[in-house]
Amino acid sequence: MPTEQELMVELGVGRNSLREAIKVLQAQGIIDTRHGFGMFVAEENLSALYDTLSFRGQMSLRQNGQSASELVDVRQALETGLIGIAIASATQNHLQRLGDCVQQMEQHAAAGEGFTDADRQFHQILFEPLNNRLLSNLMGVFWDVYHSIHDSISSFPHDQEMLVETARGHRRILDAVIAKDVQTAQALMAHHFDGIRTLLEQRSATASGN
């Protein structure tokens, strides 16, 4: 894995926040720290990580949703922090495949159909230029957990207006990636998570009122 300093820069977080997150991952056996060598991701534990994070996220929805919100924070930090590096390394082939994914989303949205597979592929391809298999797998885990939480709190997972807006959001991100506009891409990626944050806030408010 990258060093602490590199992670702080890539994820845009402070040293204390990063170290607290690392401690949690170490306690769960996800990260192995070897003195004098650095930090390593235990790939064989990624399936267990999904089970653990998904369980914590779902259980938190019955209370204040804090764990679910923190999981969204982690995914947002990863994707927003790394998109600049991904843009710099993206090839024409990556851009073409991203465009195909967005086109599929738009077609499904127009028909009022969900597009989970195309959505997942978009985010996978977006960070494929980083050429880091372990990171890709880890981000895939957070994507899966994110959508399990989203599906649990969204009353209308296939609402056409929501589908069209989601597809449009991916189109805007793609346009920024093609233009190599890192600042806009980062802002759009951060905005990409506004919807689920609103749902979590509504869920928390409802839980507090009961």
pTM as predicted: 0.70
CA distance 98 to 178: 10
Q: For the segment 22-36, what is each residue's pLDDT rounded down to a tens digit?
A: 777 776 666 777 766
Computed from CA positions of residues 42, 5, 70, 199, in that sequence, does the dihedral angle turn out positive or negative? negative
Q: What is the largest CA-CA distance in the chain?
A: 55
Q: Which residues does the chain have with pLDDT short of 50?
A: none
Q: For the segment 161-185, what is each residue's pLDDT rounded down to a tens digit?
A: 888 999 999 999 999 999 999 999 9
Residue 60: both structure tokens together: 């938190």
Residue 57: both structure tokens together: 């996220």
